[in-house]
Amino acid sequence: MENTHFNEQLMERTMKMDVDVRNLLKSEKFIPIDRPFVNQLIRSSSSVAANYRSATRGRSDAEFYSKICIVLEETDETLFWIDYLIKLDVLNEKEAVKIRNEVEQLVRLFSSIKKKMKERIGRNG
């Protein structure tokens, strides 16, 4: 969209979040029963970065809004899996707090973007 610099920064931020999730997990040893939950965290965090990148290439406000809805959903899911894995003692809360805080901030940011885009589409639609 028109905020190219903002979009580039947010693409970098979502990619960094995804890399940070991977780095948090790569040195851990997981028991087989926890592996599916860890894989879900990996999938949702990478989906945030990939779908935000896709959103910035949207051809219309409606397409951007649709992708932002997916980005928000995947970001919130990432937060869920982090919290869940902490609760199961699969992730160490002290080690995960920085990435958890970043994901929580991204949920708030994408919620705000979604709300503004919905208002914008409503005015123009």
Nearest to 68 by CA among 16, 125, 119: 119
* pLDDT value, residue 94: 95
Percentage of the residues of the chain whose pLDDT score is greater than 70: 97
Going by C-beta distance under 8 Å and a sequence separation of 6 or more, which residues neighbour residue 123?
Answer: none
Is the separation of the CB atoms in 114 and 72 below 8 Å?
yes
> Which pLDDT tens digit goes with each residue over 65-110?
999 999 999 999 999 999 999 999 999 999 999 999 999 999 999 9
> Which pLDDT tens digit goes with each residue over 21-62?
999 999 888 999 999 999 999 999 999 999 999 999 988 999
* pLDDT value, residue 47: 98
Dihedral, CA of residue 28, residue 33, residue 36 and residue 39, to nearest 10: 0
Q: How far apart are CA 7 and CA 66, in angstroms?
A: 16
Q: What is the pTM of this model?
A: 0.92
